Amino acid sequence: MKRGLLVGVKIKDRYELLKIVGAGGFSSVYLARDEQSNKVVAVKVLHEHLVSQERIVHRFHKELEKAQTLNHPSIVRYLDQGEQGGLHFLVMEYLEGKTLAQVLQERGKLPLEEALTLTRQTAEALAYAHRQGLVRRDLKPANLMVLEGNRVKVMDFGIAKDLWATSSDSSQWFTPAANL
């Protein structure tokens, strides 16, 4: 299935891809309609040229396994995943807003109060993920979605590390507050 032809495609006889809303190095994200719930969702599709790389496909599907255990108001919710005809995909809640990277590009430096609000929400989300044993790596403005009301959601757990599966020595991941 050619990636350029995905608009209009229906995945799992459920998710109709309506338009592309973003793209990165590993995947493209589509606005889609979930015909079972009649809600709008986002569907992340692994780029075609990466499908033959078993390690990348495994990591792509591990993203949902890791992130679906997280239930926090400042973390995107993952809903489903699968593979259909060589098309590897993740389904998540659709977030209407702009990435922090887009906001900064459009507006430049944010007022202190607004920046602190977004930073606090992001830190709370990361602290929650850490308590669940998941360390979010590669956090950057492109992975933070700013929503109406100056709310933020952390997205893209594709390169997160499972703390408990990685090491029994949590000291390598956490620095006690007394040492900061």
Exactly one of 34, 80, 138, 156 is catalytic; name it.
138
C-alpha–C-alpha distance, residues 176 and 180, integer Å: 7
**What is 78-137 written as a DSSP string?**
EEEEEEETTEEEEEEE---EEEHHHHHHHH-SPPHHHHHHHHHHHHHHHHHHHHTTEE--
Task: Print the SS3 string covering 2-26.
Answer: CHHHCCCCEECCCEEEEEEEEECCC
169 carries an active-site annotation: no
Contact present, 90 and 81 (Cβ < 8 Å): yes
**What is the distance of C-alpha 156 from the center of its chain?**
2
C-alpha–C-alpha distance, residues 67 and 51, integer Å: 21
Active site residues: 138
